[in-house]
Structure 1
């Protein structure tokens, strides 16, 4: 019961990593707040966690402020912000529209910035913490994903800035960078791989994209949530400004040596 009596504000909490974090934290005693644009997935998670659902855009400051009023009325101040909302921004720079670029900015960077800014008074008061869920795309560049790569790099930078500016005020900020995780969003990307290579299934696509990952498979959402929950807990009290890869070893691979692999 590491989170007994604490309140976690989770964006993008209706599916994937966010949903797994909500379920894990609820089991360990946390009050759960789920914010997202689609109500149905949030309701499914709320059924397991007794969460407060706030339907809205986490990049909209007015929506986040209204959400926090509901949180304060039901649970009190926020102890943990899990800035998990993200996605979009696929395509190379030369063909990326202004609309796609703006959407990548809004869904990845603006959601994190706005929620952090609005939650900071609570977090300072409670000596709480922020977990920014970025990606290994925030450390390296995948192909034809200029918007996503750029905004995840920016999320890593924002996490550093928050850690630097608010650590002295008792607020820890750490950033998690997952590799491939078997989620509904990743399944959509796997379908592209299926069609491109004429594969038989999404599972086969996951095997292909993790072929050179030392552990040889994607993570489950629960495996990522395990790390997030540790970082958000008092057990990680000295961690601030950390950037953790949870990628099965993908980022330790020396790409120029792949030709030597049997």
Structure 2
């Protein structure tokens, strides 16, 4: 039986990943700063346990990893999913906001994976880092978020290069996914007059996506489960884009579509 740690596991993509892994028979520990959503996810599945912790805090994550080892005898995989913050252009980003965005989007993954490397090397386990399409492209006025998500791919490649004999490491880059965080962005679009409601806002932002819709969190979870599983045993150092085809679109030709 496998044991996995999912950071940012209380809502959205993280909660869906935890549920999918637990449905597949694994023991799953969800971690994050807010206890309430973690407890909600854990209460819905007997194989999910909540362990609140700040993923930027090395000591806190060390305790989480140690507790997992004591209770479950080891750790087979980590999903570094925690993220957020950084929704301003460079000129309007304060020093404090910059540090906050990099902490949320990059440091969380760095600290979590660093603290888990020992147990993962012992089990021959895997790491999946959840980046974003913003790790490959730049959205407007999201400097901190964009830079943090780009940097995650460098972290994945560095981990894969240095620890590949013992741990498999890959990245997932979702596009629009219908989550509470994305709902807030859709509401912003509505407030700016770009859409009538949240549903039409999602339709607007995915209008030029080849599949023509946002992903469901469960669809991202399925990809993560694949990367942690035996069918992906030779997938290493990869960046898997899960965006409905958005990254293949040639923006300058949209007028001809």
- Bin the TM-score by the shorter chain: over 0.9
Contact 1:172 1:239 in 2 (8 A): yes
Alpha-carbon deviations, 1:218-254, whole Å to 9, x = none?
0000000010100110110000011010000000000
* In the alignment, structure 1 residue 117 sits paired with structure 2 residue 114: yes
Query: Would you identify which runs of 4 or more consecutive aligned residues in structure 1 move more than 3 Å?
Result: none
CA distance in structure 2 between the aligned counterparts of 1:102 and 1:49, rounded to whole angstroms: 35
Find 1:186's aligned residue among 174, 178, 182: 182
Find 2:256's aligned residue among 225, 248, 260: 260
- State the Cα distance separating 1:77 from its structure 2 match: 1.3
Residue of structure 2 in register with 1:22 after alignment: 18
SS at match of 2:192: helix
- State the Cα distance separating 1:198 from its structure 2 match: 5.2
- State the Cα distance separating 1:78 from its structure 2 match: 1.0
Residue of structure 1 in register with 2:216 after alignment: 220
Q: Unmatched 5+ residue regions in structure 2?
A: none
SS at match of 2:118: helix
CA RMSD of aligned residues (A): 0.9
CA distance in structure 2 between the aligned counterparts of 1:197 and 1:177, rounded to whole angstroms: 29
* In the alignment, structure 1 residue 195 sits paired with structure 2 residue 188: no
- State the Cα distance separating 1:69 from its structure 2 match: 2.2
Q: Unmatched 5+ residue regions in structure 1?
A: none
Report 1:28-47 matches (<5 A).
Answer: 28-47=24-43
Residue of structure 1 in register with 2:62 after alignment: 65
Find 1:136's aligned residue among 121, 133, 138: 133
* In the alignment, structure 1 residue 6 sits paired with structure 2 residue 2: yes
> How does the TM-score come out when normalised to structure 1?
0.96
Residue of structure 2 in register with 1:160 after alignment: 157
CA distance in structure 1 between the aligned counterparts of 2:134 and 2:196, rounded to whole angstroms: 27
In the comparison of the two structures, how many residue pairs are matched? 256
CA distance in structure 2 between the aligned counterparts of 1:69 and 1:129, rounded to whole angstroms: 17
- State the Cα distance separating 1:35 from its structure 2 match: 0.6
SS at match of 2:99: helix
Residue of structure 1 in register with 2:72 after alignment: 75
> How does the TM-score come out when normalised to structure 2?
0.98
Contact 1:91 1:145 in 2 (8 A): yes
CA distance in structure 2 between the aligned counterparts of 1:69 and 1:226, rounded to whole angstroms: 28
SS at match of 1:131: strand
